[in-house]
Structure 1
Amino acid sequence: MKKSTIATLSMVCSLLMATGMTVYSEPAYAVLKIKRTAQGQLGAMQVNPYGYAPLSAVIDLNSKSPTDVTVTVRGKGKNGVPVSYSVGQQTMLTHNGIPVFGLYGDYANKVDLEYKLDGKKINETYTIVTQPVVGVTLDGATHAFPQVTPVKVENDFKERLYWVNHLPHNSNNDLITRVGGGAFEWDRWSVNFITDTQGEVRWYLDHNKIHDIYDARKRGVLMGVHQVDNGDIIFGQGQRYYRMDLMGRMIMERDLPAGFIDFSHDMQEMPNGNYLIRAAKKNYVRPDGKVVHTIRDHIVEVDPYGQVVDYWDLNTILDPMRDDMLKAMDARAVCINVDDDAGPIDVEPDAPFGDVPGVGIGRNWAHVNSVDYDASDDSIIISPRHQTTAVKIGRDKKVKWILGPSAGWKGELATKLLTPVDAKGKKLDCSPQGLCEDTDFDFGYAQHTSFWVPEKDTLTIFDNGDGRHLEQPAMPTMKYSRAVEYRINEDDMTVEQIWEYGKERGYEFYSPITSVTEYQADKDSMMVYFASANLMEHSITKPKLVELEYGTQDVKVELHIESTVKRQPSYRTTVIRPTAAFSK
């Protein structure tokens, strides 16, 4: 190295050391490091360490080995909800630090840290300042981010956290088109956040890192959010599926398998670590020789490495020409477009191919919006919204049972219909359209989330209620949505309704699209999200979230959510458990 270069480096190093930087030098080069001031006995704190979750932080270990770590983010104000959790060794090693989750936006958060270091118990308080929460700016918005208002919160549910999967529209969703149909043009911004029971945002996903209307691999609708057993979050969007942790560390960001396209609505992790993904098929050859991209009618199983294990082609398993449910639905409640033109859907077998409600392969005849797995017999349970309430299908691709009205089912499929019974096992008198006399029993119509509950050996659904009994009511305000639980006896092919909630809440809670019903084992409760309440009105959409004591009408939590503009639905909510994410 030249003497002049060495002299220059020496001068630079002297200046840097004077400004607080530490310099490590070797004979041939110099490495510069910024010396950071730590608030406690560990290392410095970094907000949003992975770039996806602005309300997260990591406190560096600074080459130390703390044990028995507990983090508590203090609640804001008199009624603020603290977020507290233990942190395990594996989690600290993964992040090389202590994860801080549950911060408020635009706030000087107080975070209490308890741990042992060299056998000594230490208590420290950190101040972590965050940036404001960033939403999506839309024409006609009344506020920048969905607003959450608590209506009722019981003490034993006060520390509940809910992930809200919200769907602001994208005015440029037709910016890119796909020749040959498919659902590629279905595109919305990703507003996903975690709310506490006081309506405060405690985490949110930076939508600009996930969604880009100009990038084909980042278009779509972020959906199918689940917190899996180890605390990670899985979801999909358009042509990709993802796995990340609550710190925003992206674990998996993978394209759909070759030949499959257009993820939406749901994915599930199986007990063996594989994933069930609701997708569609590219360049599908119909029996008549026409080649199309299909719509929401395939389930793909992939292993943790992205290899295809199996798939279910519903075009060959069910009847893509059955139109009884489609013809009964309001044109505004098909999850395609919500406009002012009410009335039934015009279903024609020769309609154009693409993401339109209609019969035949290459159209939106099935609209599967959830997939679940029954490990007891290696089967899947799907919710084909445009067909029936729920269908169970085996690994052999044979239908095990169909839950729904009998109208329109033919041949072998008609023999798979479950028979409604009362609590004593007596057969109910039900019409082909599903109207059952002198009973509270009812099927689901235009439903979402047909989820199996292994702890109870039951099935839950969210019954949206459009096209109930395969017709439209005399007045739109007669419609209602409900959460429902069924007990199915596969030996005698019967079904009993054992619980429902929402019918009595009437049109105020009516949600024509989206929504979820999901059992919560940790509190033996049922979480229900009326995700598109007020969607049909000329005012702000007002989703409703409730959690009830299992098997009762006893509401433990009720939160009302206000969208940012008119006719802006949510998709789902899911309960988030920090302990599952950080205690390992």
Structure 2
Amino acid sequence: MAAIHFKRMASSIALATMLAAGATMVVAPDAHAAVFERKKETQGELGKVIVNPYKVAPLTAVIEREGKDPKNIRVTVLGKPGGGVDISYPVSEGALLNHDGIPIFGLYDDYVNQVKVEYTLDGKKISTVYKIRTNPFTARPFEGRYELKPKVEKAKAVKGFEGRLYMLTMMGNADNKEWAWARPDHKAHGAGEWLEPAEIYMVDTKGEIRWFFDSEQFYDKYGRSIDDQGRIMSMHQMPNGDLVFGMAQKYFRYTLMGEPSFARKLPRGYIDLSHEVLPMDNGHMLLRVAKTNYNIPGTKEVAHTVRDHIIEVDDGGRVVEEWDMVEIMGKNQFRKDLIVGLDARAVCLNIDMSADHPVEVKESIPYGDNTSTGAGRNWAHINSISYDKKDDSIILSLRHQGIVKVGRDKQVKWILAPNVGWTKDMAAKVLTPVDRNGKKLNCENATCKDTDFDWSFTQHTAWISERGENNARFATISVFDNGDGREHEQPAVSQDKWSRAVEYKIDEKNMTVQQTWQFGKERGWDWYSAVTSNVKWDAEKGTYWMLSGNVHLLSPERTQGIINEVDPKTGEVKVELVLSNDKKPAVYYRSHLVKPENLFRY
């Protein structure tokens, strides 16, 4: 005790002496000394690593800068040993400032990733390999599903294409169906009832998941808020890499790191956003929606419409233009020639998949998401929008009618579909198929003979293609031609169905159309997708990349999503990925090619 008393007295004398001399000091009690002596442990010259910094992108991270100013930054997420794919990209000063650190993108899930980070700090070149642990991929558990990840059945990429990354949306089943934009009996509904949030993830050319989006962070799966439900289907990237997409009653913009830019509700009076949220060069967006409380033409009845309106909203979310396709198409909303040739299983995926079901068209069919004719029903099923800036027009894929170009004056410019069932005024706007020399082809009704030309049937993504001519006279579009109801009928044997990616060159002056390329027809049933899917041109590689999103959906076999990149000049398949899942009717909706080198340039 005497010794302890002496130490305390000595310390008090020393403290008094220092204070008298004007000195200052901080004294920590012995019990807390470890707190003041602790050093911050980091893996390199910068700060700590934060995984999933914005809560919705679990395979991303930020290495904090800790007040330092690294320059000439390059990140490389090293591929797994034995042939894994490296993901490498530069990081601009703007990206560094935005994240207050170095953004890390493209990590493997459930893995200790090795990430090489190179930069210059105070004139000195530094290279550090960080070890970053991630959690497993978060799948949507629902009845009948037993696999967390898609099964990789095939993964092939030729030299020069090994580093390609493809984003996918996959849709499954709903948790409940208590809400619907419908009448009280809930027998008719729209996109608001699609309660299953899509799984959005990215795969490399080995089929490995390198990014995924945790959409449940902003999604109400319990059905208590209809504004927070629906499926994510469409997705597009902005020039800076941001992702834009829609979910029934809202549309969103996020960075791929998971930072929210905005989440906007649809303007009042519009519902059922799905299939397309298309950014425009002027900051506006084109949305495929439906209209609430619509006066059904020729009646006193009021109902919600189904997938037949387009709106343009400005950068504040305000409506600046509306395309009411019921009004624009007039009596052609009752055109049924393709509709009666459809397999209902390829429209309503909640019915018995084991047998064919023809679509019926009759007056007793209730209003709502029911495939039939006329406003208030699924007569059009618009599933894509493309904006043609040369004449300020939009090109629409009407799955149940054809491909239609419409001006801002709300006048139809041309129709790409068989010249069957149209009113006289619209029949005059149907394009005439010709060969490369402009000679008219032998096409009657919905059939062409002695030619490779064919119309698209129940198509998706009729988008302008920069591969071909696009000027005052010509327009070139690429289309995923699903092929259900081809020639307005069902084949005797289902396995005779086929899908394809196809390119058309349209002479808008002479009102003709030439087929200039196709892929997939030769692969028949094993590449056939009854619904969804897309194709788009990549100018950098000179390829078309595409997704056939639900191969074998209408069979007992596992449903496949097949990604291809193809050189249209040679027909060579540069990339082929075959992913499959164990739960029907889960389908892939779209793919998107992501280029990491463009993500952090701004």
Deviation at 1:186, TM superposition (A): 2.5
Q: 1:330 matched to which residue of 2? A: 343
Q: 1:38 matched to which residue of 2? A: 42
Q: 1:421 matched to which residue of 2? A: 434
Q: What is the one-letter code of the residue matched to 1:289?
A: K
Deviations 1:162-212 (A, max 9, x none): 00111121242x222333455121232321100000111000011321432
Q: 1:394 matched to which residue of 2? A: 407
Q: What is the one-letter code of the residue matched to 1:583?
A: R
- 5 Å-filtered alignment, 1:123-522, equals 123-172=127-176, 174-180=177-183, 181-183=188-190, 184-213=192-221, 214=223, 215-287=225-297, 288-318=299-329, 319-340=332-353, 341-388=355-402, 390-433=403-446, 435-457=447-469, 458-522=476-540
Give the SS at the match of 1:65: coil
For 1:90 and 1:14, how far apart are their aligned partners in 2? 44
Give the SS at the match of 2:599: helix
Deviations 1:362-393 (A, max 9, x none): 111000010110111111111000111x1111
Q: How many residues align?
A: 560
Relative distance call for 1:428 and 1:75 in structure 2 (3 A) is same
Deviation at 1:76, TM superposition (A): 0.8
* Structure 1 range deviating more: 514-523 or 49-58: 514-523
Q: What is the one-letter code of the residue matched to 2:300?
A: G
For 1:310 and 1:241, how far apart are their aligned partners in 2? 17
- Answer whether contact 2:466 2:537 (CA < 8 A) is retained: no
> 2:549 matched to 1:549?
no
- Answer whether contact 1:338 1:567 (CA < 8 A) is retained: no
Relative distance call for 1:47 and 1:398 in structure 2 (3 A) is same
Q: Pick from 58, 64, 71 the counterpart of residue 67 of structure 1.
A: 71
- Answer whether contact 1:349 1:360 (CA < 8 A) is retained: no
Deviation at 1:498, TM superposition (A): 0.6
Deviations 1:430-478 (A, max 9, x none): 1122x11100000011111101113423111011111001011111111
Q: What is the one-letter code of the residue matched to 2:347?
A: V
Deviation at 1:16, TM superposition (A): 9.9
For 2:30 and 2:483, how far apart are their aligned partners in 1? 71
Deviation at 1:254, TM superposition (A): 0.8
For 1:16 and 1:59, how far apart are their aligned partners in 2? 33
Give the SS at the match of 1:492: coil
Q: What is the one-letter code of the residue matched to 1:297?
A: D
For 1:18 and 1:253, how far apart are their aligned partners in 2? 48
For 1:551 and 1:528, how far apart are their aligned partners in 2? 16
For 2:54 and 2:36, how far apart are their aligned partners in 1? 24
For 1:231 and 1:570, how far apart are their aligned partners in 2? 22
Deviations 1:15-36 (A, max 9, x none): 99645479xxxxxxxxxxx985
For 1:109 and 1:360, how far apart are their aligned partners in 2? 55
- Answer whether contact 1:161 1:197 (CA < 8 A) is retained: yes
* Structure 1 range deviating more: 78-87 or 559-568: 559-568
Relative distance call for 1:398 and 1:218 in structure 2 (3 A) is same
Structure 2: which 5+ runs fail to align?
Answer: 1-25, 470-475
For 1:178 and 1:203, how far apart are their aligned partners in 2? 33
Q: What is the one-letter code of the residue matched to 1:107?
A: Y
Deviation at 1:140, TM superposition (A): 2.2
- 5 Å-filtered alignment, 1:112-131, equals 112-131=116-135
- TM-score, normalised to structure 1, is 0.93
For 2:495 and 2:506, how far apart are their aligned partners in 1? 32
Relative distance call for 1:36 and 1:376 in structure 2 (3 A) is farther
Deviation at 1:335, TM superposition (A): 4.6
Q: What is the one-letter code of the residue matched to 1:175?
A: E
Relative distance call for 1:548 and 1:386 in structure 2 (3 A) is same
Relative distance call for 1:454 and 1:123 in structure 2 (3 A) is same
Percent of pairs with identical residues: 43
- TM-score, normalised to structure 2, is 0.90
For 2:212 and 2:428, how far apart are their aligned partners in 1? 47
- Answer whether contact 1:480 1:505 (CA < 8 A) is retained: yes
Q: What is the one-letter code of the residue matched to 1:439?
A: T
Give the SS at the match of 2:384: strand
Q: What is the one-letter code of the residue matched to 1:385?
A: R
Deviation at 1:13, TM superposition (A): 8.6
Deviation at 1:336, TM superposition (A): 4.7
For 2:424 and 2:317, how far apart are their aligned partners in 1? 37
Relative distance call for 1:259 and 1:490 in structure 2 (3 A) is same
For 1:472 and 1:479, how far apart are their aligned partners in 2? 8
For 2:309 and 2:380, how far apart are their aligned partners in 1? 10
Q: What is the one-letter code of the residue matched to 1:95?
A: H
- Answer whether contact 2:311 2:322 (CA < 8 A) is retained: yes
Deviations 1:488-518 (A, max 9, x none): 0001010000111111101111110111111
Q: What is the one-letter code of the residue matched to 1:432?
A: N
Relative distance call for 1:17 and 1:376 in structure 2 (3 A) is farther
Relative distance call for 1:121 and 1:235 in structure 2 (3 A) is same
For 2:568 and 2:467, how far apart are their aligned partners in 1? 12
Deviation at 1:247, TM superposition (A): 0.3
For 1:542 and 1:302, how far apart are their aligned partners in 2? 36
For 2:58 and 2:344, how far apart are their aligned partners in 1? 39
For 2:384 and 2:35, how far apart are their aligned partners in 1? 56
For 1:78 and 1:50, how far apart are their aligned partners in 2? 32
* Structure 1 range deviating more: 337-346 or 456-465: 337-346
* Structure 1 range deviating more: 236-245 or 143-152: 143-152
Q: Which of 1 and 2 has greater Rg?
A: 2
Q: What is the one-letter code of the residue matched to 1:223?
A: M
Deviation at 1:156, TM superposition (A): 0.6
- Answer whether contact 2:86 2:163 (CA < 8 A) is retained: yes
For 1:528 and 1:36, how far apart are their aligned partners in 2? 48
